Every structure is written in C-alpha cells, then in structure tokens.
Amino acid sequence: MVFPRVIATDLDGTLLGLDGRVSERNRRALAAAVAAGVKLVLSTARPPRTTAHIASLFTCSAVLCGNGAVAGLPGADPLVRALDTATAATVVGELRGALPGVGFGVETGTDFYHDTDYDLEPWVPRDWVREVVGSTDELLERARPITKLLVRSQGVPVHILHATAEQAVGGLVEVTYSGGHGLLEMSASGVDKGSTLALVCERWGVSAEEVVAFGDMPNDLPALSWAGAGYAMESGHPGLLDPALGLRKAPPAHEDGVGRVVEELLS
C-alpha cells in the first residue's frame, strides 16, 4: 500500500481503551503521523459535544460526528448533512408499526431531545438531555436539525432491531448501530462515515487509495470499505472480521491496535 495521506479512526472500541481514554502509545503514534504530514480525521457516532475533549488531544484536520452527519474542519463552518423532517416522520410511522414499544430521540449536533417512550440509557447523564418531549410528532418539530434519529428498545436485541428496521425503512434512511445495546442510529439516506470521509478527502484532493481507516462496529463499515486500507479491530464486531469483506485486521483496542498499526506504517 502507499504511504497514507489521511488516517481516519473511530473512537469508542477503536482508538479508546477500556477506560474510555486515549493511551499514550496511541497518542504518540498519531502525533508522529501528523508530524510526518498525514492528515488525521476522527470519525465517530458521538455528537460534537462529547468528542471535543478527545479531539483536543490531537492536531485534527477534520472531526466527523454523528456517523458523518456533522463534519468539522478548522477555520470552516460545520458541514451538516441532516435528515429532513418529512422523511423522519415517515420513518417514525413505519417503525411504530414494525417495532411496537420503541422510543425515539434526536441529536441536533448541539443538543439531544427524546420523547417520553425513550428509555434513557443508564450511562447517559441526565444533564445531556436538552428536553423530554411529550410526543414524537412534537419531538420532530422541536429538535432541529435532525442529524441523527435514535430508536431505543429495552427488550429487543440490537441485531433484531437492525434487521427489522432495514426491512421497514432501509430505503429511506441509513440504519446502523455502534453498540451492543438496543439502540439504532439513523441518518439521512447516503449519509454515513464513508460518504462524509469521501467528501472531506475530495476537498483535499486525496484519493481512497491514500486513506487508512480504523473501526470496530457496523457503523464503521462504510469508511473501512471506502478507504484503500480499512482495518477492523480484532476486539470489535465479529461481522467486520468476515474475510469476505476484505478488511485488514488491527490488534485489539485494549492492546493499542491503532497505535501499533500506525507505528508500522510510519516505519
């Protein structure tokens, strides 16, 4: 492979360790890559407000949040690729029939709203919620822009949620997930980590063959597949380790897998 001009990495389960922090080895390796002229892109399902403190550890050329719905580049206004309200309303209606009992939430890029049926995850601080809205219709009116529509179920495993939602609304939105809990993430059609990474690289005149990407969950697959060298973490979702996908393997996240691969690239 050619020496990379861009390194794009997911955060949770990829760059971050079990303690949710960037290890010194990973930090040093990526800093060395930047010093060598490589553009560093952080790409995550997280919203910007919970990503900024990690991005501040590096000299980033871009920070992609919300599975590519919000892209921040130094010195430029954020690129927001939102889901329109009419489509979101159609999706909610279809999923109410296909997945009874689910709740809905909306990330706007700056705030999080959810309806009263949404069972807030126990690890989410209550002060992260801007507002709890009485109905889903009101939620879609009040929470703008819709950078990510969230679907939450307490009792249905995420892989079943995903399969059901794909069948019901897969032609209207991008349906994915980044965790093992009952939480689906939906973006506007065509908006994912791969397409936004491609847009950013096009601005820089960087081809896919010059990009290395790291990830561990299904929401990372579009970026891993687009990049010239996509690395799936050995500690990640087993579906990404299917040889048929043609991805490379990086050591587990808790063993500084990103840093170890980057060290090899730089050597």
pLDDT band at residue 149 using 50, 70 and 90 as cut-offs: very high
User: Please, where are the H alpha helices in 189-250?
Assistant: 193-204, 221-226
181 close to 121: Cβ distance less than 8 angstroms = yes
Q: So where are the chain's domains?
A: 6-80+191-266, 85-188
CA 36 – CA 195 distance, rounded (Å): 26
Is 72 buried (19+), middle (13-18) or exposed (0-12) by CB count in 10 A? buried
Mean pLDDT of 20-40: 98
> Hey, what CATH topology would domain 6-80+191-266 get?
Rossmann fold (3.40.50)
At residue 1, the pLDDT reads 67
- Measured CA angle at 193 (ends 191, 195), to 5 deg: 55
The CATH code that applies to domain 85-188 is: 3.30.1240.10
pLDDT tens, residue by residue, 178-222:
987 899 999 999 999 999 999 999 999 999 999 999 999 999 999
In whole angstroms, how far apart are CA 189 and each of 84, 151, 168, 172?
Answer: 10, 16, 14, 6
Write down the pTM of the prediction: 0.96
Mean pLDDT of 12-29: 97
